[in-house]
Amino acid sequence: MKKFLNNPENFLKESLSGLDKAHQNLLQVHFDPTFVTRKSINSDKVILVSGGGSGHEPLHAGFIGHGMLDAACPGHMFTSPTPDQMMAAVDFCKPNKGALFVVKNYSGDVMNFEMAAEMTSYENASILVNDDAAVIDSSYTTGKRGVAGTVIVEKIVGSLAENGGDLKSCVDLGNEVNQRCSSIGVALSSCTIPEAGKPTFDIEDDQIEFGVGIHGEPGRRREQIRPAQSIVKDMIEAIIEDFKGKNLALPKNTELLMIVNGFGGTPLSELYLIYENACEILTGYQLNVVRSLVGNYTTALDMEGASVTLCILNDHIKNHWDTPVHTASLRWGI
């Protein structure tokens, strides 16, 4: 393992301290228990709290700020945060209109957010994100995994909450957006957790993992590397199949938001190539990508690989996507 680190056990704390120092006007990192909040809290809006295992940066703390999250609870690497973290985050934000937990569907996260939801004295609700089309049931979860669609849910619900939406309308919109999102990822390499010191899984020099999870969980198949166009075609087809399974129609000229998301070790030039190949394929389906993100948004430490997420837009969701956002890793209009 070759990484910029000191003591592996201290990696997360040092990294979060750096996040805090780099964005002092925007957010605040708290320790014992560990949670991150906006620098300036508005208790009179619905308070959005997310969290999950670390190693997916900028998810979630990088999305704290105006128009998106109010707080995030980073667990240890690839490990759920604990209920005391969520409760401390909610207590700090003192929500007068309720707290909304945005939870990726992994068994540990689901259980710990449920415990926090039961134990906190504040009104609350949860959105479960499960946008990964790859597999049903996996190493860390029952049902479908939550992956990069989470960024879209957090942006859209964050916008509604910022603009006065109440708890119920935020939950409903979040569930709708999750339903309209579908993702699939491909790994070219494994990833290495600092405390483990060795790759999470082995993969041959000419192999890829199609449908990989963001912790290196197995996907649909291990196969030979092939041209990007061919890989991306299968990715788009898997997503479209997933939409069909959810009874979501894709009539001609449907407007889409597309995220081409790097897993941490893949350069931007390759992500734009994937974007290009994906657009060509979607044009064949007569679907229109009208909004997009290309970059590292939901990573798996240093994994080489990428995922594609499509979200079926409507005017309401598109408008909320376009509202100003000011976070460490997503910013526009402000």
Site stretch for a copy of itself (CB under 8 A), options 9-17, 65-73, 78-86, 88-96: 9-17
Q: According to the binding rule CB under 8 A, does residue 323 interact with a copy of itself?
A: no
Q: Which two tokens stand for residue 262?
A: 């790097």
Residue placing its CB nearer to a copy of itself in the complex, 48 or 203: 203
Contact between 279 and a copy of itself (CB under 8 A)?
yes
Q: Minimum Å distance from CB 6 to a copy of itself?
A: 4
| Minimum separation from the CB atom of position 318 to a copy of itself (A) | 14
* CA 269 vs CA 121, 295, 308, 334: distances in Å: 48, 10, 15, 27
Cα–Cα distance between 89 and 297 in angstroms, integer?
A: 23
Torsion of CA 84, 86, 88, 94, to 10 degrees: -150
Contact criterion met (CB below 8 Å) for 240 and 234: no
Instruction: Confirm whether 326 is a catalytic residue.
Output: no
- Rounded to an integer, what distance in angstroms lies between the CA atom of residue 227 and that of residue 212? 18
Stretch of 85-93, 134-142, 149-157, 276-284 lying at the interface with a copy of itself (CB under 8 A): 276-284
Q: Is 57 in the site for a copy of itself (CB under 8 A)?
A: yes
Which CB, 47 or 184, lies closer to a copy of itself?
184
Spatial separation of the C-alpha atoms in residues 127 and 175, rounded to whole Å: 6
Measured distance CA(320)–CA(155) in Å, rounded: 8
Any catalytic annotation for residue 76?
Answer: no
Sole binder of a copy of itself in the list 19, 73, 156, 287 (CB under 8 A)? 19
Catalytically annotated residue among 23, 66, 215, 320: 215
Q: Which of 127, 148, 137, 121 is nearest to 260 (CA)?
A: 148
Query: Nearest approach, Cβ of 259 to a copy of itself (angstroms)?
Result: 10
Q: Determine the interface stretch with a copy of itself among 30-38, 154-162, 247-255, 261-269 (rule: CB under 8 A).
A: 261-269
Q: Which stretch binds a copy of itself (CB under 8 A): 4-12, 38-46, 109-117, 249-257?
A: 4-12
Under the binding rule (CB under 8 A), the answer on residue 248 touching a copy of itself is no
* Closest separation in Å from C-beta 232 to a copy of itself: 8
From the candidates 23, 56, 60, 66, which is the catalytic residue? 56
User: Is 225 one of the binding residues for a copy of itself (CB under 8 A)?
Assistant: yes
Residues annotated as part of the active site: 56, 215
Binding site residues, a copy of itself, CB under 8 A: 2-7, 11-12, 14-19, 21-22, 54-55, 57-58, 62, 188-189, 205-206, 208, 225, 227-229, 231-232, 260, 264-277, 279, 289, 292, 294-296, 299, 301-302, 304, 306, 329, 331-334
